[in-house]
Amino acid sequence: MYARLRAGGLGEVAAKLDEGMRLELDDGLRLFEAPDLLGVGWLANREREKRHRGDTFFNHNIRLEATNVCVASCLFCAFARLQPGDDGAYTMSLEQAWGKLRDRAGQALTEVHVVNGLHPDLPWDYYLELLRGFKRIRPDIHLKCFTAVEIAFFSELYGKTDEQVLRELMDAGLDSLPGGGAEVFAERVRRKICHDKADADRYLAIHRLAHRLGMPSNVTMLYGHIETHEERVDHMLRARALQDETEGFQAFIPLAFHPDNNRMEKLPAPTAADTLRVHAVARLMLDNVPHIKAFWIATGVEVAQTSLWFGVDDLDGTVQEERIYHMAGAPTPEAMTPDEIARLIRRAGRAPVERDTFYNVVSRPA
């Protein structure tokens, strides 16, 4: 293998990894530009197996988007509607939102993942009550809710500091933050695709604060649109630098750009080869983040299975009722049962492990 890695220009990176040295920007660029995708995958798989052997995590969760009304104008988004009353705009009543959990009383769910649009008119109490109501229905459910972009928006809309917002949400039942809203940290990219929402520093500052307050979080990267390889590696390095400080990130999640029904629909979707490479490079660059997650809704099921040999050790969860990707053209199913996820992991040659949000083992399906 080493002769092959050297011939493919990956000898230096392999040697650094053997010596336990950190990869830097140039190494990341080499990993993106070396033609030998299998060489990159082999290196990433080695790191994955050192940490997790063949174990592949998933959880039993639901996704809830309580409103798609959003004042931001991200070019990649097919989900948002600017105004209440616009065609396709919706905002759930609290009863409707709680009903999503109540209706699944028979399911052994462990997590509710909430992502919303930035709604200009909802009262602050709506969000606090949303969380309190979920906990009333199921006191032990984990609430992974609101991206850092939503937290920044709440602070401005309701005239609070980020810390007040996070503390009040935590008092109402918030347990962790999801990783959405990161997109690509580079200023050049954000100016073009999402100029009117929290910038990279604010996103990272809110995650830093969440970690200091004792809440873990995830970090994402939306790839496959206008970003360069250098901007991808820079994104990973900024996440790694915060992780060096706080150790609060549980997972890094590359999110494959879906080009339907949005203002970037002329761009092609990322290829499967690119998707495998992004996940592999993430595993190699983010040496301090425990888990690399492939969001199967975004990558497609078959590519997610293959990614389990390219650095990925987590497939998110059962999901249910996802809208952001399906409105942007994702052809994946809207949900899977725990049995279905376990089966597809096993069929990819890996060992399924149902986890809770903190990666405690719930079960090892036979």
The residues that touch ligand V47, with contacts defined as CB under 6 A, are 76-78, 115, 178-181, 183, 218, 220, 222, 253, 255, 257-258, 262, 295, 298, 316, 324, 328
How far apart, in whole angstroms, are the C-alpha atoms of residue 120 and residue 333? 32
Closest contact distance (angstroms) between CB of 260 and ligand V47 is 8
Closest separation between CB of residue 297 and ligand V47, Å? 7
- Minimum CB–partner distance for residue 46 and ligand V47 (Å): 25
The kind and range of the H/E element at 157 are: helix 148-158
Nearer to ligand V47 by Cβ, of 14 and 215: the residue is 215
Beta carbon nearer to ligand V47, 101 or 253: 253
- To the nearest whole angstrom, how small is the minimum distance from the Cβ of residue 262 to ligand V47? 5
Q: In whole angstroms, what is the distance from residue 154 CA to residue 123 CA?
A: 10
Q: How far is the CB of 217 from ligand V47 (least distance, A)?
A: 7
Exposure class string for 2-30: b at 16+ Cβ within 10 A, else e: eeebeebebeebbeebeeeeebeeebbbb
Cβ proximity to ligand V47: between 110 and 262 the closer is 262
Of residues 112, 118, 114, the one with CA closest to residue 80 = 118
What minimum distance in Å lies between the beta carbon of 353 and ligand V47? 16
Q: How far does CA 70 lie from the centroid of its chain? A: 20
The beta-strand segments (E) located in the chain are 55-59, 61-64, 111-114, 142-145, 217-223, 249-256, 291-292, 314-317, 351-355, 361-363
Neighbouring C-beta atoms of residue 138, cutoff 10 Å: 16
Cβ distance to ligand V47 smaller for residue 9 or 290: 290
Annotate 18-81 with three-state secondary structure. HCCCCCCHHHHHHHHHCCCHHHHHHHHHHHHHHHHCCEEEEECEEEECCECECCCCCCCCCCCE
Closest CB to ligand V47 among residues 133, 181: 181
Residue among 155 and 218 whose Cβ is closer to ligand V47: 218
Closest contact distance (angstroms) between CB of 78 and ligand V47 is 5
Amino acid in position 86: D
Q: Considering beta carbons, is residue 44 or 319 the nearer one to ligand V47?
A: 319
